[in-house]
Amino acid sequence: MSSETSTKETFEYKAEMNQLLNLIVHSLYTHPEIFLRELISNASDASNKVRHLEITDESILDRHKELTIKVQVDEKAQTFSIEDAGIGMSRDDLIENIGTIASSGTLKFLEKMKTDKDKVGDLIGQFGVGFYASYMVTDEITIETRHADKDSVGLRWTSSGQGGYSIEEIDRKERGTKISFKLKDEFKDFSKEYKIKETIKKYSNFAVFPIFVGEEKVNTIEALWTKKKKDLKDKEINEFYKFVANDWEDPLAHLQLSLEGVGSTFKALLFIPQKDSFDLMRTQEHKTVQLYANKVMIVEDCKELLPDYLHFIRGVVDTADLPLNVSREMVQSSPVMQKIKTTITTKVLQWLDKMAKKDTEKYDKFYKTFGKLFKYGINSDFTNKDKVIDLLRFETSTQDEKTSSSFKDYVSRMKEDQKEIYYITGESRSQVENNPNMEYFKKHETEVLFLIDPVDAFIIPSIPEYDGKTIKAIDKGDIDLKEDDQAKDAKENALSGALIDLFKETLKEQAQDVKISKRLVDSAVTLVATADGADKHTEQLMKMMGQDVPKSKRILEVNADHPVIRNLSKRYIANDKDPMLEKCIVQLFESAQLIDDELTSKSEYVKRMMEIMEEATQ
């Protein structure tokens, strides 16, 4: 930083800022009108902040000044300006909020820009760099501002977006912010009033504050959530959502509420988005629901209105039961808020249940998009746990991959003598379908739930039963599989008990136990978890999360009907000291590990396989 005069200072942008501005200026011309939407959004935020401050601080500058947003254009001079009477900015605000992008996700944002230029509107809004979109249409921006603090001074910020910016004191009497610039020739249409009005109506028609273009007010200032359902039109609902959620697409669904009760009178307009923004949320926490008190916004992002697992919901909640001067801390601890939260949660779950029954296509889309987050309600919302369980959906072995089933659906298809609900965890449908533990269930046409979302492995232990039916993994050793006496006798006669003992002795360091299998049909062996042990998929997930999970020994189940096992039995009867027996036993065990992606000694496995093949081909 260097000082040019006693009142004017110049600052250099950081490297990341220069990269960002360069991308915006040279790569994002697809949606140039974004700049206006973002500037109006910023002006609205500033106005909301000062309106709240007016209630709590009587000493602020220009108290009770009319809160409007004014846009001025000059077609001949090709200039544009937007001015608000909001909270304004201090010198520190200009440096921290305008001169710096204080986000650990900036570099990721830059990379995302390169691949998703067609979605630039979503990206700009979600990464909080909307102001800089103005550099698409101009070469230099000037900000004149004064903070609402009575002791503040007027300031001017100027930058060409190349290298740095300057800040100097000016003689500005009024509170608020004015942003002005000259438009590039290729964007001179934005100096025409009709173009500005058209763009405002498209993107900012539902801004809370009056927007004037010249002397004409252009936006419809209406708290849409206060209207009667019958008076709401789909188009205005969709446009309202886009404005509130800063989204380009229509919502997937919406819910309007108007409730009156002791301590929980409120109105709400809530939305489910079409797409999930949680990948972007890794770098910037996304916003959920806005909280209003008598049409005055008091919390822009009120996560206290919904439990965590419903934080995909966007929209507005307006209540008359909170004072306008309530603080964020008071909101968090307010019994009124708790009642509203309880009511909204119940209504949202009822809404989803109705959607699941009446519009399965829409519900499936919701579930595929937000199911990962929604499922966490099982372990966090014990009051509504049963409702959340009923809304879970899974692929199954008897349904095609496009059809999802609830527990209720599964139970309705269970065989008369079936007492348990069966499931298997894995990374994909193809993986679980080809798991050897599925063979019994395929043969007997018994349905199995496919838990192939990583989250499923964490929630299923919290659901021990449904409708009186125990929920069990098919790769657990204690599963109740039916087998007729004739088949059981045939297996036991085909396999020498002494050979099983040899399996146990050979694998005593690797396997918890060795048993004759009921579940195998085509495979020779499989590994299953003990009754109280974690399945291998859960162990893998826990390790991925950095948790120290001691590896548990598994049970090796042997298919006595398999040709390899029958031949081993004959070989054992002929010579129980044959060294090939132990070699084959270890190879069978490691083959089961290979299928489960648990084999560590691959070179030894291949070497042993070559030795067995060499002897077999002599």
Query: What's the rounded Cα separation, in Å, for the pair 241 and 161?
Result: 32
CB 287 within 8 A of CB 126: no
Q: CA of 466: how far to CAs of 4, 355, 360, 406, 469, in Å?
A: 74, 22, 22, 11, 5
Nearest to 134 by CA among 49, 218, 43: 43
For residue 76, what are its two tokens? 């001949």
Query: What's the rounded Cα separation, in Å, for the pair 207 and 191?
Result: 21
458 — pLDDT class (breaks 50, 70, 90): confident
Query: What's the rounded Cα separation, in Å, for the pair 166 and 10?
Result: 4
Query: What's the rounded Cα separation, in Å, for the pair 405 and 532?
Result: 27
Percent of the chain with pLDDT over 70: 82
**Structural domains of the chain, ranges and CATH numbers in brackets:** 2-217 (3.30.565.10), 225-360 (3.30.230.80), 392-473 (3.40.50.11260), 485-616 (1.20.120.790)
102 — pLDDT class (breaks 50, 70, 90): very low
Nearest to 319 by CA among 348, 300, 350, 298: 298
How far does Cα 92 stand from its chain's mean position?
Answer: 34
136 — pLDDT class (breaks 50, 70, 90): confident
Among 130-139, 289-298, 301-310, 353-362, the range scoring the smallest mean pLDDT is: 289-298
Q: Which backbone phi and psi does 441 adopt, to 5 degrees?
A: -70, -35
- Sequence-distant (6+) residues with CB within 8 A of 510 are 553, 589
Query: What's the rounded Cα separation, in Å, for the pair 378 and 386?
Result: 8
- pLDDT at site 29: 52
Rounded to an integer, the average pLDDT of 312-337 is: 79
CB 462 within 8 A of CB 378: yes
- Sequence-distant (6+) residues with CB within 8 A of 137 are 32, 35, 80, 181, 183, 184, 187, 190
CB 37 within 8 A of CB 204: yes
Residue type, 527: L
Residue-wise DSSP of 267-280: EEEEEE-SS--HHH
Percent of the chain with pLDDT over 90: 51
For residue 546, what are its two tokens? 């950095």
Rounded to an integer, the average pLDDT of 578-602 is: 91
Residue-wise DSSP of 540-562: HHHHHTT---PPPPEEEEE-TTS
- Per the prediction, the chain carries an average pLDDT of 84
pLDDT tens track for 376-430: 999 999 999 999 999 999 999 999 988 999 999 999 999 988 999 999 998 899 9
Nearest to 298 by CA among 272, 317, 326: 326
pLDDT tens track for 15-38: 667 777 776 666 555 678 878 878
Count of Cβ atoms closer than 10 Å to residue 136 Cβ: 22
Nearest to 399 by CA among 375, 427, 364: 364
Count of Cβ atoms closer than 10 Å to residue 321 Cβ: 18
